[in-house]
């Protein structure tokens, strides 16, 4: 009997800025290679030093962002801190249709929009071991000004309050262990009976 290609898993990842989402994702991608794709968001924020258009983000002007939003080109979008961020819809659909898994790294407002838009999303929250550790990671990363760090820490408590809306919570106290948990979630989701028995 010919095996039908299964649709990939849509994994939505959120957590306060500095909690280690990017670091953990990089390890997962390293382990899993091409079977996992990472959705590149569009944003109206300025690139940080070293960031490249089309690699970390698509850096859009406000007008370009609004134009894609008007065409219903975003699976979700939100204002985070002082800028707009959104997930281009087409890429995610193509990846899932091809049978590969797709990771979105987005804020809780966006994650809840995805939850409402589709019943296939798996929501994972990456939490810091403590707020003190979060502060130390944010300052240690050295990519934001002191004022920006305070703004992000100010939002962290509110973001943590959303964690009960997620299917899974991973406390990132150790990068390798956190990555292993994320890989275990992907594997378990692939084994769901609804996925194994459906012809999609
Ligand atoms: P996010 O993508 O959530 O904003 P990053 O992945 O940029 O966070 O991580 C923020 C900082 O914390 C980085 O300097 C990273 O090296 C560090 N970091 C990430 N995970 C851990 C961990 N488990 N233990 C210690 N430091 C970590
Ligand atoms: P940063 O500016 O540090 O890269 O990201 C700031 C915040 O925006 C993070 O919480 C990140 O998860 C969120 N974010 C990044 N891309 C998107 C997106 O496409 N949609 C939404 N809703 N949030 C995003």
Q: What is the pLDDT along the chain (200 residues), one digit of tens a residue?
A: 555 678 999 999 999 999 999 999 999 999 999 999 999 999 999 998 899 999 999 999 999 999 999 999 999 999 987 899 999 999 999 999 999 999 999 999 999 999 999 999 999 999 999 999 999 999 999 888 899 899 999 999 899 999 999 999 999 999 999 999 999 999 999 999 888 776 55
Ligand with smallest separation from the Cα of 82:
2
Determine the atom of ligand 1 nearest the C-alpha atom of 16: 3
Which of 16, 19, 23, 139 is the best mutation target for the ligand 1 pocket, counting ligand atoms within 8 Å of the beta carbon and taking the most?
A: 23
Nearest CA to ligand 2 atom 5: 17
Look at ligand 2, atom 24, and give the residue with the nearest C-alpha. 106
- Cα–Cα distance between 193 and 110 in angstroms, integer? 27
Q: Which atom of ligand 2 is nearest to the CA of 14?
A: 12
Give this prediction's pTM.
Answer: 0.94
Which atom, in ligand 2's list, is nearest to the CA of 144? 3
What's the 98 CA to ligand 2 centre distance in angstroms? Answer: 25
In short, whether 22's Cβ falls inside 6 Å of ligand 1 is yes
């Amino acid at each position: 009997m010919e095996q039908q290609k299964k649709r990939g898993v849509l994994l939505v990842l959120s957590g306060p800025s500095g909690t280690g989402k990017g670091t953990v994702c990089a390890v997962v991608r390293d382990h899993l290679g091409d079977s996992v794709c990472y959705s590149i968001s569009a944003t109206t924020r300025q690139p940080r030093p070293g960031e490249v258009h089309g690699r970390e983000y698509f850096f859009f002007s406000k007008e370009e962002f609004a134009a894609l939003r008007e065409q219903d080109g975003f699976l979700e979008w939100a204002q985070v801190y002082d800028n707009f961020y959104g997930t281009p819809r087409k890429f995610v659909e193509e990846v899932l249709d091809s049978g590969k898994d797709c990771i979105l790294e987005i804020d809780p407002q966006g994650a809840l929009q995805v939850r409402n838009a589709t019943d296939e999303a798996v929501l994972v929250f990456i939490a810091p071991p403590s707020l003190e550790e979060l502060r130390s990671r944010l300052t240690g990363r050295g990519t934001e000004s002191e004022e920006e760090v305070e703004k992000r820490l100010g939002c962290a408590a509110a973001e943590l309050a959303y964690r009960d809306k997620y299917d899974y919570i991973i406390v990132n106290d150790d990068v390798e262990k956190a990555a292993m948990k994320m890989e275990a979630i992907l594997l378990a989701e692939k084994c769901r009976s609804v996925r194994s028995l459906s012809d999609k």
